[in-house]
Amino acid sequence: MTYDNPALTIVSDEVKDGSIRWRSPSNIALVKYWGKHGDQLPQNASVSFTLDGAATDTTLHYAARRSAGEGVEVELFFHGESKPDFTTRTKGFLERLLPIYPFLRQLSLRIDTTNSFPHSAGIASSASGMSALALCLVSLEERLFAPLTDRSEFNRKASYLSRLGSGSACRSVYGTAAVWGRVPDLGESSDEYAVPVGDRLHPVFQSYHDDILLISRTEKAVSSRAGHGLMEHNPYAPTRYAQANRRVVTMLDVLRTGDTERFGELVESEALTLHALMMSSHPYYTLIEPNTLHVINTLQQFRRETGHPVHFTLDAGPNVHLLYPDVVADPVKKFIREHLLHYCEDKMYLADRIGRGPEELAVNETTNA
């Protein structure tokens, strides 16, 4: 499919200055996507929970461009500070979208963005950041031209655009849970955008918690973009892609039936498989740290002693996500405070849970400086 549309141009004199603001969450993959091909397409399908507290707040300010130019005129501010490196990446992303949104070269853009969590520490900051920007862009399209057919088309286009910036970002467009990649018996699924599956979840999973233990808040030594590239020559890649596609089907059934024990087995195996792929790449690398393993071992002992269905997963970094149902929230949070916080940098963790998805917000005019 393609959204290319050379007709989406504006009459600059008729454009009034404006701003659009979206808050979009991160997501945690239950079955991981690791390895891509073509134009940001996944080598295997993935399924994720959408988070609530871990999110990016992005305001897109726009005005008619004063002088003509071939590329996109944009500047990005992260937590109020100009970030040339972020601006360069964002400019590249927006220029990729010119066949879809040719009007972008007719505008002067400023982006103000903040995260509620540490950037590049393995909490999918690119997922929340790129999805927030994509949502702003689709809203801008509707403001300058005409509304899209319906809400599902709005979300699908935002998911498609998000994918071009960061693969996992396409899942953050939807609340509760999403699938990205072609899946048998999920007719609407696609490699080009994610689809929502929250309505398929058993009630036990609809209020699941995800407490993120911040083992390290420093930037990752190897970016996810580089890690995906290293999968091209990983000897285990073909077997892994087949395994992941089977596991997505199994995970969707688990989420439907409410089997928390099988859920835990799958998510923990997926977490360790992800990092095993990193360690078997050439060159190999590790993102987990000693305290990551201490947390895992301590958690496993707690689970054996109590029987509580609390399980871990990992993203592309050292931090540990603890997933558990609301019914055991009190004892698990007590366990975190008393036994796990000393493994975390500055004794920090983020108490998060399954979220409803992105939200368009009123513009804070103080950011439009």
Domain match, 31 and 20 both = yes
Residue type, 358: P
In a domain, 7, yes or no: no
The kind and range of the H/E element at 112 are: strand 107-115
Cα dihedral across residues 286, 288, 291, 295: positive or negative: negative
Domain match, 126 and 252 both = no
The kind and range of the H/E element at 292 are: helix 290-306
**What would the mean pLDDT of 121-125 be, rounded to a whole number?**
61
Residue with tokens 């970002």: 169
**What would the mean pLDDT of 42-50 be, rounded to a whole number?**
98
Residue with tokens 């089997």: 259
Domain match, 170 and 91 both = yes
In a domain, 5, yes or no: no
The pLDDT assigned to 117 comes to 79
Beta-bridge partner residues of 177: 49
Secondary structure class of 199 (helix, strand, coil): helix
In degrees and rounded to multiples of 5, residue 354 shows phi and psi of -60, 135
Of 166, 199, 232, which residue sits at a domain end? 199
The pLDDT assigned to 221 comes to 79
Domain match, 170 and 105 both = yes
What is the pTM assigned to this prediction? 0.94
| Residue 344 predicted with pLDDT over 60 | yes
In a domain, 151, yes or no: yes
Which range marks the domain in which residue 136 is found? 12-199
Q: How far apart are the first and last CA of the chain?
A: 39
How many CB atoms lie under 10 A from the CB of residue 240? 21
In a domain, 361, yes or no: no
The pLDDT assigned to 365 comes to 61
Q: How many helices (H) and strands (E) does the chain have?
A: 9, 14
Which two tokens mark 294? 């201490």
In a domain, 6, yes or no: no
Domain match, 209 and 343 both = yes
**What would the mean pLDDT of 217-238 be, rounded to a whole number?**
89
In degrees and rounded to multiples of 5, residue 322 shows phi and psi of -100, 120
Domain match, 152 and 226 both = no
Domain match, 238 and 138 both = no
In a domain, 359, yes or no: no
The pLDDT assigned to 125 comes to 81
The pLDDT assigned to 369 comes to 39
d(C-alpha 209, C-alpha 199), whole Å: 18
The kind and range of the H/E element at 108 are: strand 107-115
| Residue 121 predicted with pLDDT over 60 | no
Please give the C-alpha separations between residue 207 and each of 55, 69, 81, 312, 323, in angstroms, as whole numbers. 18, 49, 36, 17, 11
Domain match, 178 and 235 both = no
Of 184, 199, 214, which residue sits at a domain end? 199
The pLDDT assigned to 368 comes to 45
d(C-alpha 306, C-alpha 62), whole Å: 55
Domain match, 47 and 103 both = yes
In a domain, 368, yes or no: no
Under a CB-based contact definition with an 8 Å cutoff, are residues 146 and 11 in contact? no
Structural domains in the chain (count) = 2
Note the pLDDT tens digit of each residue in 99-112: 999 999 999 999 99
Note the pLDDT tens digit of each residue in 247-277: 999 999 999 999 999 999 999 999 999 999 9
In a domain, 364, yes or no: no
d(C-alpha 215, C-alpha 292), whole Å: 7
Domain match, 144 and 259 both = no
* Domain at 89, CATH number: 3.30.230.10
Of 199, 227, 262, which residue sits at a domain end? 199
Alpha helix (H) residue ranges in 115-236 = 125-144, 151-165, 203-206, 224-230
| Residue 239 predicted with pLDDT over 90 | yes
Secondary structure class of 82 (helix, strand, coil): strand
* Domain at 267, CATH number: 3.30.70.890
Note the pLDDT tens digit of each residue in 144-158: 999 999 999 999 999
Domain match, 225 and 91 both = no
Closest among 130, 152, 163, 143 to 58, alpha carbons compared: 130
Domain match, 174 and 270 both = no
